[in-house]
Structures are given as C-alpha cells and as structure tokens.
C-alpha cells in the first residue's frame, strides 16, 4: 500500500509551504514543486491557491486533503495490523502531549519502551490539548495524552491517572499555619478564603489549569481582586516562591519543581476534586501491540 501522493498533499496543506513540506518529507523542494504541478494538471483543477509564498487549499484541495487523511489513517491501521501479524515489534508511534508534561514523562517512559521495542520509531509533538486532538483526528498523530477533550465522541479514551490542582505560596506565609492535613493526600488543604486579598498568579483563560483554578475560586466563594496573568506554570510558582503572589499548578508537575527558593503546596477548592489524565486515539482505530504496551508503561509510570 503506497500512498505517497496523499502524504505529499497532506504535508503541503499542513505547512502551506513547499519548502517546509519538503523538509518534513525528506525530498527536495523542486521535486515537490514538480509533483504538485503534475498532480494538478492530471486532476484538471488547482488544489492550492498561491497567496504570496503560502499555499492555501482550494475547495477541491480541501476535499482532497480530507479524503487523503482518511486514506492515510487506514494505511496506518493496516501497517499496525500487518506488523503485529508478522512480528509485533516494528512500526511507528506518533505521540502528542503537553510541553510541560513531556519533561517528567518522556525520559523514563521512552527509555523503557525502547528497550522492549527498539524498532519502533517514536516522534513527539508538544502542543495544546485542542491542537493535539485535531492532529489526532486528522491522522497526524496516533496517540495523545491530555486532560481535556473537545470532540470526545470521535475518540476512544483510556484513563491513566488522576491529577490534582495545588496552590503555591512561600513557607513563611501566615496562611500556612491554618492548613489541614487530609488522610490519603500528599498535600494539606487550605481554604482559599484566607487569601482573598492576595495577588493571584493565574494562567490564560483557555489553559486547563485556569479552568480548574476558577472552579476552586467558585467553590471557595471568592473572586480574585488582584491578578497577574502568565502562561508558564513553572514561572508562576517561582514568582510565588519570591512572594509575588499565590500560584497554581498540578500535583504531578510540582513533584519535579526545582527553584532556589522553597514554596509550600496546598490542595484548594474541593479537596477530593481530581483532574483525569487520559490517552486517546481515533474511535474504532486499531492499536498495534506496541502502542498497547506503551499505554501500559504510562499506567505503570503514573500509578
């Protein structure tokens, strides 16, 4: 099964540039340009409009790309099943996950995976939940690890572990003395009402941690009066360590937090509230044995 033509067009649509698409495909720019011209001549309709240096799909191009992605998805499933049938130890895994999560996940998991499946090529895309989900549905990724879904009805989802929202403040903050230890929890719980007049270091509204932070504020019955917005969660906690305000993060992230000044972490809001982290793949899609093994490694790593 050779779908090189479809791979070329999908790459052109993805990058909207012959140069960048050629780099991804490991072919020369002239070769790709000649391919596109001949394909459009053969089809009798332009697939892309040339807008400056950009290639923008025409209506016919959008139809082609949509069909090509479905064909490539079928090809990937075929290759996975064929690999399993032959020996079950070779193939390709294209993984999507958040940039911050890759720091503590990839070094151990990928190293362990490679020991068992040295012939499986793994590529990683670090991006937002929405973007990785769309790439999954477009057939550009095989598996994603995320805490948010936007088109769940199109996905098969496997829960991996439950994360928790935590707040960071300096150890000398007066509120620390009023925290309560809770059985079965790593961090003590603190009532957000005690910090109602503080500056809160928050993430952008579209970030998942901000959604859960807003839920914690709602549970506590307060509305932040002073806010500082920054997307980088690690930087936010460092700012909290310096006494600039109270910051928020995930429990799984802060286990790897490293900064010259210490902070204390507390559960906030509803103490038993959890953020489910799951892997997902296209609904009804075939998972080769090596991808199933990768998922088992994720479960072992987190649990």
Q: Is residue 81 part of a domain?
A: yes
Q: Is residue 141 part of a domain?
A: no
Structure tokens at 158: 């496997």
Q: Is residue 183 part of a domain?
A: yes
Q: Is residue 119 part of a domain?
A: no
pLDDT digits (tens, 9 = 90+) for 11-51: 999 999 999 999 989 999 999 999 999 999 998 999 999 88
Residues 168 and 75 placed together within one structural domain of the fold: no
Whether residue 85 has pLDDT greater than 60: no
Structure tokens at 175: 């509120």
**What is the pairing mode between strands 275-282 and 90-97?**
unpaired
In angstroms, rounded to a whole number, what is the distance separating the alpha carbons of residues 220 and 267? 12
Q: Domain containing 237: what range? A: 164-274
Q: Domain boundary residue among 87, 110, 145?
A: 87
Average pLDDT over residues 185-194: 94
Residues 172 and 72 placed together within one structural domain of the fold: no
In angstroms, rounded to a whole number, what is the distance separating the alpha carbons of residues 141 and 96? 7
Give me the chain's average pLDDT, please.
90
Q: Rounded to the nearest 5°, which phi and psi values hold at 243?
A: 90, 20
Whether residue 276 has pLDDT greater than 60: yes
Predicted local distance difference test score (pLDDT) of residue 4:
86
Domains: count for the chain: 2
Q: Is residue 30 part of a domain?
A: yes
Q: Is residue 262 part of a domain?
A: yes
Q: Domain boundary residue among 68, 87, 106?
A: 87
Structure tokens at 41: 């001549």
DSSP 16: S
Residues 168 and 268 placed together within one structural domain of the fold: yes
Whether residue 259 has pLDDT greater than 60: yes
At 203, which CATH number?
A: 3.40.190.10
Are the C-beta atoms of 281 and 142 separated by less than 8 Å?
Answer: yes
Average pLDDT over residues 56-79: 87
Q: Is residue 143 part of a domain?
A: no
**What is the pairing mode between strands 199-202 and 165-169?**
unpaired
Q: Domain boundary residue among 36, 62, 87?
A: 87
Q: Between 29-43 and 18-25, two packed helices, what is the crossing angle to 10 degrees?
A: 110
Predicted local distance difference test score (pLDDT) of residue 142:
94
Predicted local distance difference test score (pLDDT) of residue 99:
82
- How many other β-carbons are positioned within 10 Å of the β-carbon of residue 29? 14
Provide the whole-model pTM: 0.68
Q: Is residue 226 part of a domain?
A: yes
Q: CA geometry: angle at 23 spanning 20 and 28, to 5°? A: 110
Average pLDDT over residues 262-283: 92
Would you call 296 exposed, middle or buried from its count of C-beta atoms within 10 A (0-12, 13-18, 19+)? exposed
Give the percent of the chain with pLDDT over 70.
97
At 15, which CATH number?
A: 1.10.10.10
């Amino acid at each position: 099964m050779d779908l090189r033509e479809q791979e070329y067009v999908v790459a052109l649509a993805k990058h909207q540039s012959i140069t960048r698409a050629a780099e991804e495909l490991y072919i020369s720019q002239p070769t790709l340009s000649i391919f596109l011209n001949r394909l459009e001549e053969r089809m009798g309709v332009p697939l892309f409009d040339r807008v400056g240096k950009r290639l923008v799909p025409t209506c016919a191009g959008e139809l082609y790309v949509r069909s090509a992605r479905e064909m490539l998805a079928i090809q990937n499933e075929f290759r996975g099943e064929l690999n399993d049938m032959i020996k079950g130890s070779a193939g390709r895994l294209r993984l999507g996950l958040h940039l911050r999560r890759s720091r503590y996940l990839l070094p151990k998991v990928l190293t362990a995976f490679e020991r068992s499946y040295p012939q499986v090529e793994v590529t990683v895309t670090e991006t937002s939940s929405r973007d990785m989900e769309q790439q999954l549905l477009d057939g550009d990724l095989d598996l994603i690890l995320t805490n948010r879904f936007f088109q769940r009805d199109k996905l098969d989802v496997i829960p991996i572990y439950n994360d928790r929202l935590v707040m960071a403040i300096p150890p000398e903050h007066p509120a620390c003395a009023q925290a309560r230890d809770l059985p079965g929890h790593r961090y003590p719980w603190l009532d957000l009402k005690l910090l109602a007049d503080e500056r809160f270091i928050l993430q952008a509204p579209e970030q998942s941690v901000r959604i859960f932070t807003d839920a914690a504020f709602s549970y506590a019955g307060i509305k932040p009066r002073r806010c500082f917005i920054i997307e980088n969660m690690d930087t936010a906690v460092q700012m909290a360590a310096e006494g600039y305000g109270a910051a928020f993060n995930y429990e799984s992230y802060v286990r790897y937090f490293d900064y010259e000044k210490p902070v204390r972490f507390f559960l906030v809001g509803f103490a038993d509230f959890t953020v489910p982290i799951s892997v997902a793949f296209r609904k009804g899609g075939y998972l080769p044995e090596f991808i199933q093994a990768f998922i088992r490694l994720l479960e072992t790593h987190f649990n």
